[in-house]
Amino acid sequence: MSISMYQASIPGLVHMLRNLDTILGKAAAHAETKKIDPAVLVSSRLYPDMLPLARQIQIATDTAKGCAARLAGQEPPKYEDTEASFPELSARIQKTIAYLESVKVEAIEGSEQREITLNLRNASFTFRGVSYLLNFVLPNFYFHVTTAYAILRHAGVELGKQDYLGKIS
């Protein structure tokens, strides 16, 4: 049995984004129950030199939408990165999920060898599709989702492993 590029990317990204949105909902409820200003959680970080929660979510969604677009040979949609509240972050996640679900299976299938150039702030990288997905997208995406989870857990939000994993089917 083989797995396609679509199967290895879009369903897992969507699944984890839904879990991340659920986690944010629990964080918002926690803030309300404990009378914590939600902005405190949204701007929380694990260590002073790490990015805050909002940026972790922005990068996770950027990575997901960038993956779908680049594997499909398209330009990724641009988001403004202005989210500063739980509702705004949730809306960004929902917008990303909608985008991922709009990308046709056929556009991603066969992208294993597609050349993908990624221009980052200080460097440019060229990948083949499968290497881009397995060696850049998935590790980067899971890093930022996990870090968002860890920030909220560290802040006292009652989360467990099942919140991170979500419903397993």
Q: Other C-beta atoms within 10 Å of 25: how many? A: 12
State the distance between the two ends of the chain, measured CA to CA, in whole angstroms. Answer: 19
DSSP state of 133: I
Structure tokens of 21? Answer: 């949105």
Residue 140, H or E segment: helix 138-154
CA 154 to chain centre: 19
What pLDDT score was predicted for residue 106? Answer: 97
Burial of 115 (0-12, 13-18, 19+ CB in 10 A): exposed
| CATH 1.20.58.100 fits domain 5-164 | no
What pLDDT score was predicted for residue 1? Answer: 66
Report domain extents, the chain.
5-164
The CA distance from 60 to 93, in Å, is 9
CA angle centred on 38, ends 32 and 43, rounded to 5°? 155
DSSP state of 116: E
Asked if 89 and 42 touch (Cβ cutoff 8 Å), the reply is: yes
What pLDDT score was predicted for residue 2? Answer: 87
The CA distance from 114 to 5, in Å, is 11
Phi, psi of 154 (to 5 degrees): -65, -30
Provide block-wise average pLDDT over 10 residues at a time, the chain (169 residues): 93 98 98 98 97 98 98 96 98 98 97 94 94 98 98 97 91
